[in-house]
Structure 1
Amino acid sequence: MSQTLPRSTRSRAVAVVAAAAPAPAPAPERLVSVRWVMALTDLVALVVAFAAAHVVRFPDGSLVRAPVGVDWLAGLATIVFWAVLLVTMRTRDPRVVGVGGDEYRRLLFASLTAGGTLAVTAFLLDLQISRGYVAVAFLLASLLLAVSRKAWRTALVRRRAEGRHLVDVLLVGDLGDVEYVGDRIESTPAAGYRVRGVLADGCPGGRLALNGTNRVPVLGGVDDVLDVARRSGVGAVVFAGAVAGGHERLRRLGWELERDGVELVVSSPLVDVAAARVHHRAVDGLPLMHVETPDYTRRPSKRVFDVVGALCGLVLLTPVAVVVAVAIRLDDGGPVFFRQQRVGRGGSEFSILKFRTMSVDAEDRKAQLLAANEGAGPLFKLQVDPRVTRVGSFLRRTSLDELPQLWNVLTGSMSLVGPRPALPAEVAAYADHAERRLLVTPGITGLWQVSGRSDLDWAEGVRLDLHYVENWSFLHDLVILARTVPSVLRSRGAY
């Protein structure tokens, strides 16, 4: 038998539900309009791809004279269905647009779903659709969608670097955690966040420097998070580290923030761990993160790739190497190659081979220049080094001085991609687990090369190398190699 709640009880229940209903989260500046234009470009990409497929399907006539049959109807239906999938699978969600690989994964899944649905429908209804038409349409559509999204991502990253399309956030937690997470956020504007204030217990009022330059106001302690979030109008609150009161308090804070449309973001205590190594496992509503143990063993596939790549590089670049060798000899008459002891995998030393870029007496003159050292940590570097020859300056800017290292790769002392090969003096000064860089073979290029080279400070260079060591994947190597080309062309940090 059903019962009717008293009027006063029903009113309170309605009020509670209304209060719990989340307000819409504030969207980043003009990102809504950007998403609409992205939707338009996605639709144009689909139409162009299927129109081109029709041209290929009817090479003896124009698109206008092509018969309107099952191919046309299937194409139009697929375009509509594919466009709907791009929306329902949230490929343009503000949380994934412009950062990470989730946007491309959703895009790929939507494309595979559209293709699979067309294939199953054609089979069940016995539709006579040209397989060539379907293949051309889907390959071209997938390519155009990926290229379009890459162009949008490039534009969005540039705009975010200029301070546009960012979500304002409050950073909450202990001072050490706040500084670390804040530095990472401020140094990566492409992620879409901008720190507008800090709430940290034991931190005096005033401003806190993040990423060395940006100074953000300290607005109070952890207990002030709800009041400050409502007053400041931020889009999200980022908890850096543990919260006093544990999981229960964090859950209740999330409920309170939800009423004002403020998102809750929790920083993981894990740092520099690739997403591929992290697996989520739910235990009675408790999300646990399982972190795979890194594999430091020698990888046969990586070695085969190194040998093939080094052989191809030596064969194709031999004419360039000959020209460089002649230029070095004509410049000052000294030796063409420069050999230096470096520390490789497992701490074993090897002789690295490079084209000589300095004067013959460079090592003897080093002591005179120590006071002007601009290098990071134990590294010795000068942006304007008087020992560098005219030809050597060009070789350094273009990274051509590193061509002979392909021989080191071929002989096994180096890899195409890996941590920066360290000097023995650097290894002797290693501290705080920096020696873990020696667990894998050093490389001609790596994260340090594509992230700034000599412009990086010592700690950042070590962090990038350790990230590579612990999160290696074959795909990661390919991405680094692809990023090396524009990095070399820009000559950033090459001196």
Structure 2
Amino acid sequence: MWLFGETMPHAPMTRPARTQVIREQPPVGRRGGKPAWYAPAAVLGDAAAAGAPVCAAFARAEGRNAVAYATVAALSWLLVRTARDRYAGRRLGERDNLGSALPDWLVLIGLLAVVRAATGEESPFLLALAALVPCVPASAAVHALLHRHLLAQRRTGRAVRRALVIGEAQAVDGLVSHLAKRTDHEFVVVGVCPIGDEDPHDLAPVAARLGRQAPSRMSADSAPVLEAARRLGVDVVVVVPGPHLNGARLRRLSWALHGAQCPLMVVPGLTEVAGRRVGVLSIAGLTMLNVAPPLKRGFAALLKSVTDRLGAALLIVLLAPVFAAVALAVRLDSPGPVVHRQTRIGRGGAPFTMAKFRTMVADAERLRHQLAGTNEKDGRMFKMRRDPRVTRVGRVLRRYSLDELPQLFNVVRGDMSLVGPRPPLPDEVAGYDEMERRRLAVKPGLTGLWQVSGRSDLSWDETVALDLGYVDNWSLSVDIGVLVRTVRAVLAGTGAY
């Protein structure tokens, strides 16, 4: 938890952070809303994702009633998705809608099982189940395309909501600068209303100013805010509570805003907490946020462990020819061992031996001390874009992350996971502060948010923020998303050196 007057961690995007707050303003008549075709595209895509494979499977197996089965499957899938609010305008194209296909599919299977039992349907059960499996990746792909289109829209100032931010100067600066670093959200700050005489930084224009003390008349606060909102054409007012904007004062301001049909959002002061972990409670007239702890035990954690080991073992078998080819290339390129073994720190601070294909000369560890003054990173890690210790084959292996393949054996042994924070060196961990040590709360990963968000191009603070975000908000859907993005990151080779 942080206060808005302090430095705030953020999860960076794969592109460089923006340095200004005001995005390119959307053309008149096109701001504030998502494209109208999102909803019909999502519905048609989901219907096809469920109906097409069922129709094809039953047409091939039985040759009759295929269209009827497909229609039932498609309508049932749409019913489940609608009941779970997947087509709401506020969710279409958003990131939190991407991982919804799998849990919805499980509900669909349960629903169809009940219908099957109630109607006495005698179609082959395993055939029906297999035919519905493609529904998950196909629907996920549809919503992923909507998400990518929405991100492209928001980078150019479209599909956004114009926001007016109210709070004390430091709090306003913290929130506005945090929003400015990313373009994957729906807000563009068009003005601020600081409380008191202190001026915020020039991140957004001052639209109005409120006094430090709560006024005796409600209109003393509401009149300037409503005038600023009207003048700037804002879609939402965002409030950051503080010592001079307490609950009673905020309540009176909300009356005025809601009376003018202006939406109000209150920032609680929590960052990098997934929405699925947060619930709203009303107790004794007080509104409270219930923040669930991160997933560390139970069925999900067990499933992750089993999936890691089975997945790593399968990849070792499938990639055996690649292992052999890389090993031969390393052996022929330079003298030294094929596999480089290094002590890394795992979950809870426990050391383990990590294996990688050697990409440097044999005495690289000794030469590192001679290159200490040439480190291009701003934190604990040592990185050089043109490290003279890297061999010719090593540069190719690093670009496409082939040097990481032996870590699959670490995953099978249980030292690492397929997805997790970057495995740190002992000397890096020795300099960790209390916040950085939280990275060690889970197993390090073969890949992770660091790998798919820029790799060595990221600053130390950005790397830490990504790892902490993963530790706090891990889920199976997050892991699946990272694994899918890893393929694209490895092929692109961005930030690998």
- Do these two structures clear the TM 0.5 threshold for a shared fold by scoring above it? yes
Evaluate the alpha carbon distance shift between residue 219 and residue 433 of structure 1 in structure 2; reply closer, same or farther with a 3 A threshold. Answer: same
Residues in 2 aligned to 1:337 and 1:59: alpha-carbon distance in whole angstroms: 50
Displacement after TM superposition at 1:395 (Å): 0.7
Q: Is the 8 A contact 1:274 1:471 kept in 2?
A: yes
Q: Which aligned pairs between 1:472-491 and structure 2 lie closer than 5 A? A: 472-491=474-493
Q: Is the 8 A contact 1:201 1:221 kept in 2?
A: yes
Deviates more, 1:302-311 or 1:361-370: 361-370
> Does 1:308 find its partner at 2:303?
no
Q: Is the 8 A contact 2:33 2:159 kept in 1?
A: no
Q: Which amino acid aligns with 2:335?
A: G
> Does 1:216 find its partner at 2:204?
yes
> Does 1:407 find its partner at 2:401?
no
Pairs aligned (count): 456
Displacement after TM superposition at 1:321 (Å): 1.4
The correspondence for 1:351, drawn from 350, 353, 356, is: 353
Aligned-partner SS, 1:359: coil
Aligned-partner SS, 1:189: coil
Displacement after TM superposition at 1:89 (Å): 7.4
Displacement after TM superposition at 1:301 (Å): 3.8
Structure 2: gaps of 5 or more residues: 1-26, 211-220
Displacement after TM superposition at 1:83 (Å): 7.5
> Does 1:430 find its partner at 2:418?
no
The correspondence for 1:416, drawn from 412, 418, 433, is: 418
Q: Which amino acid aligns with 2:304?
A: K
Aligned-partner SS, 2:387: coil
Q: Which amino acid aligns with 1:272?
A: E
Q: Is the 8 A contact 1:89 1:106 kept in 2?
A: no
Residues in 1 aligned to 2:107 and 2:28: alpha-carbon distance in whole angstroms: 30
Displacement after TM superposition at 1:206 (Å): 7.2
Evaluate the alpha carbon distance shift between residue 238 and residue 107 of structure 1 in structure 2; reply closer, same or farther with a 3 A threshold. Answer: farther
Q: Is the 8 A contact 2:170 2:200 kept in 1?
A: no
Residues in 1 aligned to 2:240 and 2:123: alpha-carbon distance in whole angstroms: 55
Greater share of helix: 1
Q: Is the 8 A contact 1:235 1:262 kept in 2?
A: yes
Residues in 1 aligned to 2:78 and 2:263: alpha-carbon distance in whole angstroms: 28
Q: Is the 8 A contact 2:167 2:245 kept in 1?
A: no
Residues in 2 aligned to 1:34 and 1:107: alpha-carbon distance in whole angstroms: 26
Aligned-partner SS, 1:393: helix
Deviations 1:293-317 (A, max 9, x none): 4465695443333322222222222
Q: Which amino acid aligns with 2:228?
A: V
Evaluate the alpha carbon distance shift between residue 363 and residue 43 of structure 1 in structure 2; reply closer, same or farther with a 3 A threshold. Answer: closer
Query: What's 2:264 paired with?
Result: 264
The correspondence for 1:397, drawn from 387, 396, 399, is: 399
Evaluate the alpha carbon distance shift between residue 367 and residue 225 of structure 1 in structure 2; reply closer, same or farther with a 3 A threshold. Answer: farther
The correspondence for 1:148, drawn from 132, 137, 142, is: 142
Displacement after TM superposition at 1:187 (Å): 3.1
Displacement after TM superposition at 1:486 (Å): 1.6
Aligned-partner SS, 1:366: helix
Work out which structure has the larger RCO, using CA pairs closer than 8 Å and 6 or more positions apart in sequence: 2
Displacement after TM superposition at 1:108 (Å): 7.8
Displacement after TM superposition at 1:167 (Å): 1.2
Deviations 1:135-168 (A, max 9, x none): 8998787876554333222211122123222111
Residues in 1 aligned to 2:132 and 2:335: alpha-carbon distance in whole angstroms: 59
> Does 1:458 find its partner at 2:460?
yes
Evaluate the alpha carbon distance shift between residue 82 and residue 366 of structure 1 in structure 2; reply closer, same or farther with a 3 A threshold. Answer: closer
Aligned-partner SS, 1:188: coil
Residues in 2 aligned to 1:420 and 1:430: alpha-carbon distance in whole angstroms: 14
Evaluate the alpha carbon distance shift between residue 473 and residue 330 of structure 1 in structure 2; reply closer, same or farther with a 3 A threshold. Answer: same
Residues in 1 aligned to 2:62 and 2:254: alpha-carbon distance in whole angstroms: 62
Question: What is the aligned-residue RMSD (CA, Å)?
Answer: 4.3
Query: What's 1:252 paired with?
Result: 252
Deviates more, 1:240-249 or 1:413-422: 240-249
> Does 1:185 find its partner at 2:167?
no
Q: Which amino acid aligns with 2:205?
A: P
Q: Which aligned pairs between 1:50-65 and structure 2 lie closer than 5 A? A: none
Displacement after TM superposition at 1:398 (Å): 0.5
Evaluate the alpha carbon distance shift between residue 94 and residue 242 of structure 1 in structure 2; reply closer, same or farther with a 3 A threshold. Answer: farther
TM-score (norm 1): 0.76
Residues in 2 aligned to 1:400 and 1:159: alpha-carbon distance in whole angstroms: 35
Evaluate the alpha carbon distance shift between residue 204 and residue 305 of structure 1 in structure 2; reply closer, same or farther with a 3 A threshold. Answer: same
Aligned-partner SS, 2:204: strand
Query: What's 1:22 paired with?
Result: none
Residues in 2 aligned to 1:226 and 1:352: alpha-carbon distance in whole angstroms: 60
Displacement after TM superposition at 1:438 (Å): 2.1
Structure 1: gaps of 5 or more residues: 1-25, 209-214
Residues in 2 aligned to 1:103 and 1:257: alpha-carbon distance in whole angstroms: 33
Q: Is the 8 A contact 2:452 2:489 kept in 1?
A: yes
Q: Which aligned pairs between 1:236-385 and structure 2 lie closer than 5 A? A: 236-242=236-242, 244-294=244-294, 299-385=301-387
Residues in 2 aligned to 1:221 and 1:121: alpha-carbon distance in whole angstroms: 64
Evaluate the alpha carbon distance shift between residue 320 and residue 370 of structure 1 in structure 2; reply closer, same or farther with a 3 A threshold. Answer: same
Evaluate the alpha carbon distance shift between residue 489 and residue 58 of structure 1 in structure 2; reply closer, same or farther with a 3 A threshold. Answer: closer
Evaluate the alpha carbon distance shift between residue 235 and residue 358 of structure 1 in structure 2; reply closer, same or farther with a 3 A threshold. Answer: same
Evaluate the alpha carbon distance shift between residue 286 and residue 382 of structure 1 in structure 2; reply closer, same or farther with a 3 A threshold. Answer: same
Query: What's 2:93 paired with?
Result: 98
Residues in 2 aligned to 1:432 and 1:401: alpha-carbon distance in whole angstroms: 31
Residues in 1 aligned to 2:110 and 2:350: alpha-carbon distance in whole angstroms: 52
Q: Which amino acid aligns with 2:94?
A: V
Displacement after TM superposition at 1:335 (Å): 2.4
Q: Which amino acid aligns with 1:273?
A: V
Q: Which amino acid aligns with 1:283?
A: I
Q: Is the 8 A contact 1:27 1:167 kept in 2?
A: no
Q: Which amino acid aligns with 1:277?
A: R
Residues in 2 aligned to 1:318 and 1:121: alpha-carbon distance in whole angstroms: 44
Q: Which amino acid aligns with 2:268?
A: S
Evaluate the alpha carbon distance shift between residue 120 and residue 284 of structure 1 in structure 2; reply closer, same or farther with a 3 A threshold. Answer: farther
What is the aligned-residue identity percentage? 39
Deviates more, 1:337-346 or 1:130-139: 130-139
Query: What's 1:7 paired with?
Result: none
Evaluate the alpha carbon distance shift between residue 401 and residue 241 of structure 1 in structure 2; reply closer, same or farther with a 3 A threshold. Answer: farther
Aligned-partner SS, 2:469: helix
Query: What's 1:448 paired with?
Result: 450
Query: What's 2:36 paired with?
Result: 35
Q: Is the 8 A contact 1:171 1:237 kept in 2?
A: yes
Residues in 1 aligned to 2:193 and 2:394: alpha-carbon distance in whole angstroms: 51
Residues in 1 aligned to 2:121 and 2:312: alpha-carbon distance in whole angstroms: 49
Residues in 2 aligned to 1:479 and 1:446: alpha-carbon distance in whole angstroms: 10
Q: Which aligned pairs between 1:68-83 and structure 2 lie closer than 5 A? A: 71=68, 75=71
Displacement after TM superposition at 1:52 (Å): 8.0
